[in-house]
Structure 1
Amino acid sequence: MPHEPQPQPADELDAEAVRTWSSLALAALGRAREDIDAINVYPVADADTGTNLYLTAESGDRALDAVFGTGGTGPAGVSDTTAPPSLPEAVRAYAHGALIGARGNSGTILAQLLRGVADVLGTEPEGRGPAGLLAQALTRAAEEAYRAVAHPVEGTMLTVATAAARAGEAALTTAGTAAEVARAAYDGARAALAQTPGQLAALGRAGVVDAGGCGLVAVLGALWQALSGQEPGQEPVRGRAVPVPRTPEPCAEEQGGPAYEVIYLLEATEAAVTALRARLDGLGDSLVVVGGDGLWNVHVHVDDPGAAVEAGVVAGRPYRIRITHFGDERRRGRGERAQRAVVAVVPGEGLAGLCAEAGATTVLTRPGEEPTAAALADAIARAHAREVVLLPGGPDGRAAAGAAAEQARADGVRVAVIPTRSAVQALAALAVHDPEGSFDEDVVAMTAAAGATRYAELAVAESRSFTSAGICQAGDVLGLIDGDVAVIGAALPETAEAVLERMLGSGGELVTLVLGPEVPDALAEHLEAYVQHGHLAVDTVTYRGGRYSPPLLIGVE
């Protein structure tokens, strides 16, 4: 059962107050989500700020519910058989959940703001009452958020957070309760939000306030309501918890900037992250690195997503990697959903970049890893389209794809899952994707292209085992055709030749080769010559699969 918010007495600043704040903030962001998306023009007009803030808050809320015993054991180590958590346990869980689930630039900053609050309220400090502690927490939150952003810009969410903190501290001269400090911070944030169009040219041209700041106002309004029991007053937009100005007109100047958004969680030391910041700052913009204590959330906009991920590998262990291509989002009407998008699951960074260049939103998997329904649902949300074609990549991802599709349909998104069994089938489907045609015709054409592509994978056996082609030994090269072991060889070139010969025996017009990270270019040249020698009418294309991809993928259309 979802937690029912229970506003606290005026000076209660405890775990239940944090829980109520979280629930109210999530509800407020849910109500304002579409309106905030609609005014998202900075730093990228991709109409997803409201969605990103909501998903970040939702992740924090789930973690908080966990430490209260409604969803298992949370990061603070409190299980469902123990007493309710303390204030430090609750606020640390809230911040941790937001960190691991942070989405986009705005969500990443919100996660750092919550971490700043947790740095104060999560240590059981002495010497200040609830009002003083809350004011101190809001100040720390704004300071840490500024430090997390590589190049802070005024007129943004950071400006609103700072104004809220200053108003909260100023209120201490007259305020006696935490609720009064929260009200002052909320009012200060609203006043600062109204000034953002005059501080940032992109906002002024579009006639909107900052979208991230708009979401922060909703979160601070929820804080005041949680502590006081009073609902924020009626706002200019009926039925919305935050003030949203008129629907923006397209800017006169088209926004430029990097083509990709890269986000990942990173396990690394603080020293390594310092070097990572410098490296990523040279690669792109909108750099935000938040977290601490060995776990970080990295967000950056770049033209070379592979280099951004590789920088994370140098720094530590990146995971939950998400790469999004902005594509035509910069050029479409502000807040307007794309008509159609493609979401593709791929086993390699190079393939992810290739699919992203084709306009797809990608989900990157590692060897032996299956995509989760949550990851696919998140990718569908990031695609921000009315219609979505989902390419699960392999048979192991079909169940998760089905669950994610059902979730998206419940939100009003039309989703079709094409039963791809290999990344090369996904590439074939993307090659015929027609976003301008009808949805049904597009799905039929993509399904036909995927189904007409035979697929193979070459892998190295890890141990002696029985296969459909006989007994293999550890170190043997296995050639799997349409999912079954068809060839066992001693070396990659000879095994690949045998696989190609079998696949081309029944005809073909195009061979696609996807090389793994350790495979030399000479192998592609060798196989291209082999195909041309025996099958003059067959063309060959070669791609680099990148890190995490198998040694060799083959497609025959």
Structure 2
Amino acid sequence: MEDKGHVLLKLLSTYARILEAYRDRIDRLNVFPVPDGDTGTNMFFTIRSAVDVIDAQSGSEQSQSGSAGRFKEISKGALLGARGNSGVIMSQVVAAFCSVFGAHSDQPVTAKDVESALEEANTRSRGAVLRPVEGTILTVISDVAKRAKSLGENLDLGDFVRGLFDEAQASLERTPSLLAPLARANVVDSGGAGFVLFVAGLCRILSNGDFDWGTDRPFLFESRVPGPTRSKEDDFVAPSESHELGPRYEVMFILESHDENVMVNFREVWAGLGDSIVVVGQDGTYNCHIHTDDIGGSIEAGIAGGLLSRIRVTDLFEEIAEERWVVEAHGAGAPDPFSAETDVIPNTAVVVIANGDGIRRIFRSMGVHRIVQGGQSMNPSTEEILLAIEEVPGDNVIVLPNNTNVTPVAQIAAEISKKCVRVIPTRGVVEGLSALVEFDPMVSIDENFESMSECAKRVTVAEITQAVRDYSDESGLVHAGDFIGLSRQGLVAVSKSLEDTVVDTIGKLLEDDSEIVTIIEGEGSTSAITREITQWLNINFPEIEVELHHGAQPLYPYLIGIE
């Protein structure tokens, strides 16, 4: 058996590869059937940050597995790179294994080492969460830690870790019975699923080849409990406005503070601002996570406690995973082939956030000065938007975030910038395009802000996408593979036919005074379907003008705007 140091390095590298392969499936374990989660992606980048430290250490004096401080650096890498609630918790699992396996790292791994690491992981992860909730990744970690203790350290190591893997799967399958939203959505906990894959990686390393991933693969995405049923004949209705969805925003940042009393006060302030609070630290560096409706108060509490960096705000109600963007997008603020270049210094410049080659070309043609590439769940950081603001010509800048997920981050960038920056909270690409109709670079920022804001408000927007799993609640019945139309009020239409879904969505959103319908084609659209949609509009609503654009946006075959 290899020594603990090398086993840990192999475990983290193996886990990163497993997460990379399965992160999209974990992302889809959500309470709504669109491809709108990022738990798997967050966990992958958390572990990837630890592996990056390992790679950077390779060839250095610290490349010896027993070098002092090596495992502490790996642990801190996971901490600083942690994203999302599950990512922060997973960074504590990494910290626990680094602590236990890093001690006497030149000695062989034993079942007792694994038991101790899991016990410490359970203690660290629960200690980091202000109000632990059962039915989440915390429960799966606890159950596996308890199982490790009951199995006993005298069991063969391979049998020991396979027993842990069996318990991890069983615990994951129980999560819907412990957490009502999971039961209603008919899914298991996504963070727990990510931890099951960690235990699978442990089995791969410690089973001496006896763990067959092809045979023993956990049916993570087949585990379901009976969900609520609804007749196909039932009408689709918008979700009740009184339905409590919890805090709207996820706020994360790195806080530098070496005063424990300050951190105690910080935790107390946050306790009154939201939930899903996770604060974990090492050597005065803390990764802080909260779900809240008070973005400003949450950030101000951090400023009062120390130095902030890596501020990240996500709108949980609008979170949409755009996996391809994670791979393809280059840093915002870098030279952008779609940005407008001009020698004239405008009175007002515009920065937009957009994804899709066609959409960026449209924005460029409308005089936008800088385009920050970004999507929804993987929204650009404050620093990226700030860099774009600073690079555009002139001292007055309007930002069009084109997504409620990005708006809070853009507002923070506006506050930090020394320029005069105004953010128009456009909720989608169509609103952004509509606002730009009124843009005049040679008039004042106040005039532009007023006219562009009014124009954006006049647009009704809808998105057409495809459900990734079955779903049923008061909004309607959806099956995996169905095309669904979503407006700001919720589910509007559903059908097996993409064309029927688009037509039904437009028909339900048209008003007596509607004049223009804008259709933006994305990936998955076809010229034949687009032609049928436009013909339907021309026949049934001849007075309405139809504008057609090719946006090439991922995940959404059609974006709709009605003015």
* TM-score, structure 1 normalization: 0.57
Deviation at 1:82, TM superposition (A): 5.6
Matches within 5 A, 1:320-335: 320-329=310-319
- The one-character-per-residue Cα deviations of 1:92-147 (angstroms, maximum 9, x if unpaired) are 33321110000001001001121122232334399996321221111111111011
The answer as to 2:389 corresponding to 1:394 is yes
Matches within 5 A, 1:125-164: 130-164=110-144
Distance 1:360 1:306 in 2: 25
Distance 1:262 1:149 in 2: 15
The answer as to 2:415 corresponding to 1:435 is no
The answer to whether the Cα contact below 8 Å between 1:344 and 1:360 also exists between their aligned partners in 2 is no
Distance 2:392 2:88 in 1: 28
Matches within 5 A, 1:20-419: 20-41=10-31, 47-69=37-59, 80-81=60-61, 84-86=64-66, 89-124=69-104, 130-177=110-157, 179-230=158-209, 231-234=211-214, 243-245=220-222, 256-268=245-257, 269-329=259-319, 380=375, 382-383=377-378, 393-394=388-389, 396=391
Deviation at 1:188, TM superposition (A): 1.7
Matches within 5 A, 1:499-514: 509-510=447-448
Structure 1 unaligned residues grouped into runs of 5+: 1-10, 70-79, 347-357, 362-375, 399-419, 455-502, 513-557
Give the 3-state SS of the residue equivalent to 1:152 in structure 2. Answer: coil
Deviation at 1:217, TM superposition (A): 0.6
Q: What is the match of residue 511 of structure 2?
A: none
Distance 1:241 1:396 in 2: 49
Q: What is the match of residue 482 of structure 1?
A: none
Distance 2:196 2:110 in 1: 21
Distance 1:511 1:18 in 2: 54
Identity of aligned residues (%): 30
Deviation at 1:186, TM superposition (A): 2.2
Deviation at 1:49, TM superposition (A): 0.7
Give the 3-state SS of the residue equivalent to 2:16 in structure 1. Answer: helix
The answer to whether the Cα contact below 8 Å between 2:332 and 2:388 also exists between their aligned partners in 1 is yes
Distance 2:212 2:187 in 1: 21
Partner AA of 1:298 in structure 2: C
Give the 3-state SS of the residue equivalent to 2:272 in structure 1. Answer: helix
Deviation at 1:220, TM superposition (A): 1.3
Distance 1:21 1:32, change over 3 A: same
Distance 1:314 1:234 in 2: 51
Distance 1:118 1:434, change over 3 A: closer
Distance 1:58 1:279 in 2: 32
Distance 2:212 2:74 in 1: 22
Partner AA of 2:27 in structure 1: D
Distance 2:14 2:105 in 1: 26
Aligned residue pair count: 373
Give the 3-state SS of the residue equivalent to 2:42 in structure 1. Answer: helix
Deviation at 1:435, TM superposition (A): 3.2
The answer to whether the Cα contact below 8 Å between 1:264 and 1:320 also exists between their aligned partners in 2 is yes
The answer to whether the Cα contact below 8 Å between 1:14 and 1:87 also exists between their aligned partners in 2 is no
Deviation at 1:449, TM superposition (A): 6.5
Distance 1:426 1:153, change over 3 A: same
Distance 2:449 2:249 in 1: 29
Distance 1:158 1:170 in 2: 19
- The one-character-per-residue Cα deviations of 1:400-433 (angstroms, maximum 9, x if unpaired) are xxxxxxxxxxxxxxxxxxxx9x8989747x4677
The answer as to 2:433 corresponding to 1:453 is no
Give the 3-state SS of the residue equivalent to 2:213 in structure 1. Answer: coil
Partner AA of 2:13 in structure 1: S
Distance 1:272 1:21, change over 3 A: same
- The one-character-per-residue Cα deviations of 1:157-187 (angstroms, maximum 9, x if unpaired) are 011101111222222244243x544333222
Distance 1:228 1:434, change over 3 A: closer
Distance 1:112 1:301 in 2: 19
The answer to whether the Cα contact below 8 Å between 1:325 and 1:360 also exists between their aligned partners in 2 is no
Distance 1:16 1:129, change over 3 A: closer
Structure 2 unaligned residues grouped into runs of 5+: 230-238, 334-351, 356-371, 394-413, 451-563
Distance 2:134 2:73 in 1: 30
Distance 1:26 1:392 in 2: 30
Distance 1:297 1:172 in 2: 34
Instruction: Choose 58-67 or 245-254, whichever is displaced more.
Output: 245-254
The answer to whether the Cα contact below 8 Å between 2:47 and 2:78 also exists between their aligned partners in 1 is yes
Deviation at 1:243, TM superposition (A): 1.6
Deviation at 1:51, TM superposition (A): 1.0
Distance 1:302 1:431 in 2: 19
Distance 1:13 1:326, change over 3 A: same
Q: What is the match of residue 496 of structure 2?
A: none
The answer to whether the Cα contact below 8 Å between 1:87 and 1:121 also exists between their aligned partners in 2 is no
The answer to whether the Cα contact below 8 Å between 1:155 and 1:197 also exists between their aligned partners in 2 is yes
Distance 2:388 2:438 in 1: 14
Distance 1:140 1:395, change over 3 A: same
Distance 1:257 1:250, change over 3 A: farther
Distance 1:154 1:225, change over 3 A: same
Give the 3-state SS of the residue equivalent to 2:37 in structure 1. Answer: coil
Distance 1:338 1:116 in 2: 32
Distance 1:431 1:82 in 2: 48
* TM-score, structure 2 normalization: 0.57
Distance 1:250 1:272, change over 3 A: farther
Give the 3-state SS of the residue equivalent to 1:234 in structure 2. Answer: helix
Give the 3-state SS of the residue equivalent to 1:33 in structure 2. Answer: helix
Distance 1:306 1:431, change over 3 A: closer
- Cα RMSD of the aligned pairs, angstroms, is 4.4
Distance 1:180 1:434, change over 3 A: closer
Partner AA of 1:215 in structure 2: G
